[in-house]
Amino acid sequence: MSENNTPNQNAQTQQPLSGKSVAFLATSGVEQVELTSPWEAVIAAGGTPALVSTEQGDITAMQGDWEHGESFPVDHHVGSVESSAFDALVMPGGTLNADSLREDEDVLRFVRGFFEQHKPVAAICHAPWTLINAGVVEGRTMTSYSSLSTDLKNAGANWVDEQVVVDEGLTTSRNPDDLDAFNAKMVEEIAEGKHEGQTA
């Protein structure tokens, strides 16, 4: 520790998400590493992650679209929790996960709540499918898995092919190869708190 840093300042630097609660929205079919890597990054930054799902009990992740991964315990059913209970939202990808979530009205209500309250949202890979259905991408600059680019453009987003894109509290990335950059920007945006430009 340098002489210029007091212990309190150093602790704050190391724990930028201290006291913050972060919802992870996922169901079975979620890309495992896109759930576990950001989850670990939130914990490492001092935050408290919670798994919110359309399912009860456990969800089963996937490694790619074909190989089953591990199971993870659900903390809250999406129909019984409000976005106001959390400081931020993280949306992992996975084709099956995103395709299921985007058809659920409780999911869309939950997601819209974060935008209405100007709270940070981070979405990777196929997760922006759900943002399209929630009606929150128009006018936003963002990226995603490449096959979603036309869908996002048709919904009014400015789609770009970049490792990570940040637009007023909305952080997006393309695929698992981008996770280091995604996690860093996700933590930074959550630490900053509400963004007035983040709106439904």
Q: Report the C-alpha gap between 55 and 74 in whole angstroms.
A: 7
Range of the structural domain that residue 182 is part of: 19-192
Choosing from 68, 76, 77, 126, the catalytic residue is 126
CATH number, domain containing residue 70: 3.40.50.880
32 part of a folded domain: yes
> Residue 67 has what pLDDT?
86
Nearest to 146 by CA among 95, 180, 182: 95
Q: State yes or no: is 125 an active-site residue.
A: yes
pLDDT at 73: 98
Amino acid at position 80, single letter: S
pTM: 0.93
Per-residue pLDDT band for 28 (boundaries 50, 70, 90) equals very high
Please tell me which residue in 76, 77, 118, 125 is annotated as part of the active site.
Answer: 125
Residue 199 in any domain: the answer is no
Residues 4 and 142: their CA atoms lie apart, in Å, by: 38
Burial annotation 47-85 (CB, 10 A radius, 16+ → b, else e): bebbbbbbeeeebebbeeeeeebeebebebebeebebee
pLDDT digits (tens, 9 = 90+) for 140-172: 999 999 999 999 999 999 999 999 999 999 999
94 lies in some domain = yes
pLDDT tens-digit series, residues 123-137: 999 999 999 999 999
Number of domains in the chain: 1
Q: Classify residue 40: in a domain, yes or no.
A: yes
118 among known catalytic residues:
no
Residue 1 falls inside a structural domain: no
